[in-house]
Structure 1
C-alpha cells in the first residue's frame, strides 16, 4: 500500500496551539495515512530529522520526515515491538521473541537474549531509554494479560530484571532529571511511577501516578516533555492525555480514531506531538467510520520536547 501524505501547515499548527491555550483541547491532523495494524514505538530521531515507528504484526519499520513526506516502509524478518538507535550504527531491537542487534541496512539480526523462552503466550512489548541510555523494555501475556512477564534493563554491563509479574508493559518514560520512572501495566487503567536511581538504574517505591477516566481505554505508550508533563496514548479511548508532574490531567488530545498506541515529541522545533494509531480490534463498521485509523497524527503543542537519546555501547 502506498501511504497518503498529508502536510500540516503553519497556520494549522498555530490554530492548534491557540486552541490548547484557550481550552486545553487539541485536535491533531492526519499526517500519514499508512493504515498500521498496530503502530507502536514512535520516536523522533533528531540526528536524522526523521520520525520512526513499527507496525508490529505487519513486520515493518516505517519512517518519514516531520511533515509526513519521504515515507519509507522496511520489511522485517519478524515482529518488532520496541527499539532504540545505538551509537554503533545498529538498532537495539525488541522483537517478539527477544532482544537483538538489528542492522537496518542488511536486515541481519544478532540475538542478545531470548525473552521468556519457556512460555509460548508471552512476547516483548513496550520499551524506552532512560536518561543515561539504558534500554528499559518489558513484555506481555497475550492470553489475558496475566501478571507473569518481566521488565528488563539492558545496558553494556548486561541485562537485569527491573520489575517482575507484569501483564502488559507500557508507558515507559522518565522525568527530565531521570529520577522518576513512569510505567503502566495495561491490565489496569492506571499509570504508575517509581523513584529511579540514575546511577544504579534501580526502580523502587511504586505508587499510583494517575488513573484513567472511565471510557478512556487503557494506558499505552507515553513520552515526557521538557516541563515534566507526561503524555499518554490511551488505546481504545481516542485520546492522548497530558498529565502534570503531580498527576493532574492537563492538555487533552482528541483523536478521530479509537486506538492511539504511542506518542512522541519531535520536529525541527521539538514542539510537535506525533501519535501512532492502530486498526487492531476494530470491526469492519468501525474501520469504515474511521478512515484514518492506523495512521500517524500530529499537532504542534505549547511545550518543548526532549531528545530521544541513544543507546550507548
Structure 2
C-alpha cells in the first residue's frame, strides 16, 4: 500500500495564480521563480531576503532556465526569449511556432547537456495541437508531435532517460536519450499508466535517486514513483489543482509546488492558486543551465 502523508508544509506565497506553473530555483542567486501563465506574470522570490517581484510579460509564458549570471531564457508563446536579469529586457533567442496563434508554451525542463525540452499546447487544450521541442544553442528540433497537454518533462540523473506525459491521456512515457546532446536516441514506451485514476499527471521532477515526483492535478497530491515506476509515496496538498514541483533552497531541503485556481470554487477551496513548500526527504537535484551557444 502506498504511504500517504498529510500536508505538513507551509504556504510559500498566497498570491493567487490562475494557472501557476513552471517553478524553478537557482542556487547561485538563491532566486525562486514561477509563472501565472494565463495572466502573463513571472513571480520572483529571493529565498534568503524574501524580496519579491511580479513581472508583467508581453505574452503568456510558462517556464524559465538560467543561462548565466546575467541572463535567463523564458519559454513564451512564440519561442524562447533571453531575459536580462538586471534590466528585465527580453530578446528573441529561438522562435517556436511563432505563427501559430492557437498554441502557447507549457511544461519545459533542461537536460544535463544544456538542451531545453519545451512543450507547446493549444490555448484551449485543442486535441493534438501541441508538440515537444528540443532546443540547444538556438537550434529547434521537434521531437514529439500531436500532444494535447505536454507535462512531466524530466530526466534521469545520468541523462540517459527522458520522461513526459500528455495529461489528456495520463500515461507517462519513457524514452532513451543521448546524454551528450539531450536528443532521443530510441523509441518511446509507456512507463506508468494512470489513465484510470482520479486526476491528471501534471508537472514533474526527477530527484537525485532517480525517483519521479509528480503533481496530480485535480487530486490534490504530490506522488513519488521509484525508478521502476512503482508509486511509493503520496503527499497530500492543501489545494485540489497542484501543477508542478521544484527543489528550492541551496541545500534543496524544501520542495515547492505551484497550483491553479482556474475553475476552482475559491470559497470552498481557499488555497487554490497558492504556492506551497514542504519537506519530502528527497535527494535534491537542480536543473542545469541552458546552453545558449
Q: Following superposition of structure 1 onto structure 2, how do residues 234-273 of structure 1 map, counting pairs within 5 Å? A: 234-273=216-255
Aligned-pair CA distance for 1:67:
7.8
1:145 is aligned to 2:161? no
Counterpart Cα distance in 2 of 1:302 and 1:67: 21
Correspondent of 1:297 among 254, 276, 293: 276
Instruction: Indicate the larger mover: 212-221 or 259-268.
Output: 212-221
Counterpart Cα distance in 2 of 1:116 and 1:72: 29
Unaligned runs of 5+ in 2: none
Counterpart Cα distance in 2 of 1:276 and 1:138: 18
Aligned-pair CA distance for 1:23:
4.1
Quote the residue 1:112 is aligned against: 93
Alpha-carbon contact 1:76-1:107 (below 8 Å) kept? no
2:252 counterpart SS class: coil
1:155 is aligned to 2:149? no
Correspondent of 2:188 among 206, 209, 224: 206
1:63 is aligned to 2:44? yes
1:309 is aligned to 2:291? no
Aligned-pair CA distance for 1:144:
4.1
- Give deviations 1:90-143, integer Å, cap 9, x for gaps: 221111122222224333222233332443221211111001111110101234
Counterpart Cα distance in 2 of 1:43 and 1:144: 24
Correspondent of 1:174 among 150, 155, 180: 155
Distance 1:161 1:297, change over 3 A: same
Alpha-carbon contact 1:125-1:137 (below 8 Å) kept? yes
Instruction: Indicate the larger mover: 148-157 or 223-232.
Output: 148-157
Counterpart Cα distance in 1 of 2:39 and 2:276: 19
Unaligned runs of 5+ in 1: 1-21
2:75 counterpart SS class: strand
Aligned-pair CA distance for 1:66:
4.1
- Give deviations 1:205-256, integer Å, cap 9, x for gaps: 2111212274531111111111111001111121111100111001211112
Counterpart Cα distance in 1 of 2:217 and 2:3: 23
How many correspondences in the alignment? Answer: 289
Structure with the largest fraction of helix: 1
Correspondent of 2:53 among 72, 79, 97: 72
With the length of structure 2 as denominator, give the TM-score of the two structures. 0.91
- Give deviations 1:265-306, integer Å, cap 9, x for gaps: 122321211101111122xxx211121211111111122211
Alpha-carbon contact 2:93-2:138 (below 8 Å) kept? no
- Give deviations 1:168-204, integer Å, cap 9, x for gaps: 2111100010101010111211211111111233223
Aligned-pair CA distance for 1:69:
3.1
Instruction: Indicate the larger mover: 182-191 or 200-209.
Output: 200-209
Alpha-carbon contact 1:31-1:68 (below 8 Å) kept? no
Distance 1:43 1:114, change over 3 A: same
Quote the residue 1:216 is aligned against: 198
2:263 counterpart SS class: coil
Counterpart Cα distance in 1 of 2:145 and 2:20: 26
